[in-house]
Amino acid sequence: MTLIRIPQSWSISENQITPPRLYYNRRNFIKTLIGAGIGASLLPLTGCQGSTSGIGKSASAVELEKSINLPKIDSLTKNPNFQQVDRPIVAEKVAAQYNNFYEFGGTKKIWLDAQKLPIENWKVEVAGLVKNPRTYDLDDLKRKFPPEERVYRFRCVEAWSMVLPWIGFPMKALLADVEPTAKAKFVSFTSFYDPEITKGPGFHLGSLPWPYTEGLRIEEMANDLAFFATGIFGHDLPKQHGAPLRMVTPWKYGFKGAKSIVKIEFLAEQPATYWNTLDPNEYKFEANVNPDVPHPRWSQATEKFISTGPGLSWEIKETLPYNGYGEYVANLY
């Protein structure tokens, strides 16, 4: 089984091609983006590390309001098992500007750039080793799987964290609907990608393994915690958070949570995934939150917890094994 997907060379002219090895490291990836014309403001950022620069200042308050002023979700059940975490929920406007969505760029302005995402008539194809392959439209999904709210911790691989009130449905409900066959051992999730729309400068460099993909073992997908979000903060999912459907696996690092999913495929073998293809040493397929296993370039023992309040402020907290969800998932490993 090979985990490294040979990078595709779509959307690229010969003189733009850079040797793939230059990308096999997140920091190099970011440097490449800078080289490709993304502003120097990116420099302090690596991957999903945040920055205060986008909060409140450069952001257009009106645009931000618009991006989160979405239909309230009626008849919402608050799942009583997932309401309490011992930390406060982050302020909505902070979360709505503190995003990663590399298809739209690598700066902390991507919340604004992501507004280009076209979400009308969204379809999600479920394919591969299932008894009932099918394509859902979003209304189907919402009707079939009634929304519930779950308050989960969120932990980025680059050592920041927050608490978010997701709305959606458990992944195991979808499993019951499509019925994977006995051969299905893994699941691959593919994000929306259209080079004509998702173009930040540099994002057509052929060595980047677009579209963004993530994957789980089928037992992980069947776990109680594994969730598909269609909403957050009481309303539909804003585009910058991965509208209209994204993965939420709170015991894993945040990069596992693929946004704007268009395809879910059941497979016999472990699929290639975006960050793992870029650097398999730094971004493992499993990617469970673990304070005892440092990232090759920094410790995971503590995290910057982004606390509540209108501005960006944080306190240092100890990282919890499985991000505090060991009672649900430790038996899987």
| Comparison of 100 and 180: residue with beta carbon closer to ligand MTE | 100
102 scored as a contact of ligand MTE (CB under 6 A)? yes
Q: Give the list of residues 6+ apart from residue 66 with CB closer than 8 angstroms, or none.
A: none
Only one of the segments 5-13, 143-151, 202-210, 255-263 lies at the binding site for ligand MTE (rule: CB under 6 A); that segment is 255-263
Considering the rule CB under 6 A, would residue 100 count as an interface residue with ligand MTE? yes
Q: Among 112, 159, 258, 264, which residue interacts with ligand MTE (rule: CB under 6 A)?
A: 258
Q: Which stretch binds ligand MTE (CB under 6 A): 16-24, 124-132, 257-265, 279-287?
A: 257-265
Question: What DSSP assignment string belongs to 178-195?
Answer: H-B-TT--EEEEEE---T
Nearer to ligand MTE, 161 or 180 (CB): 161
Q: Using CB under 6 A, which of 92, 103, 236, 265 touches ligand MTE?
A: 103
Q: Is 152 in the site for ligand MTE (CB under 6 A)?
A: no
Q: Is 190 within 8 Å of 262 (Cβ atoms)?
A: yes
Alpha carbon distance 330, 333 (integer Å): 6
Stretch that binds ligand MTE, among 79-87, 94-102, 166-174, 216-224 (CB under 6 A): 94-102
User: DSSP letters along 7-74, please?
Assistant: PP-TT--GGG---GGGGSSHHHHHHHHHHTT--GGGTT--TT---STTTTTSS-HHHHHHHH--PBPS
Helix (H) or strand (E) holding 220: helix 218-222
Sequence-distant (≥ 6) Cβ neighbours of residue 48 within 8 angstroms: 100, 156, 157, 158, 160, 254, 255
Task: Provide the minimum distance between the beta carbon of 158 and ligand MTE in the complex, in angstroms, as a whole number.
Answer: 8
Distance CA 166, CA 227 (A): 9
Q: Which is nearer to ligand MTE, 99 or 300 (CB)?
A: 99
Residue number, 185 or 201, with CB nearest to ligand MTE: 201
Q: What is the DSSP string of 145-159?
A: S--EEEEEEEE-TTS
Query: 174-213 mask for ligand MTE (x: CB under 6 A)?
Result: -----------------x--------------------x-
> How far is residue 172's CA from residue 148's CA, in Å, rounded to a whole number?
14
* x/- map, 26-65, ligand MTE, by CB under 6 A: ---------------------xx-----------------
Cα separation, 180 vs 131, whole angstroms:
6
Residues forming contacts to ligand MTE in the complex (CB under 6 A) are 47-48, 99-103, 156, 191, 212, 241-242, 254-255, 257-260
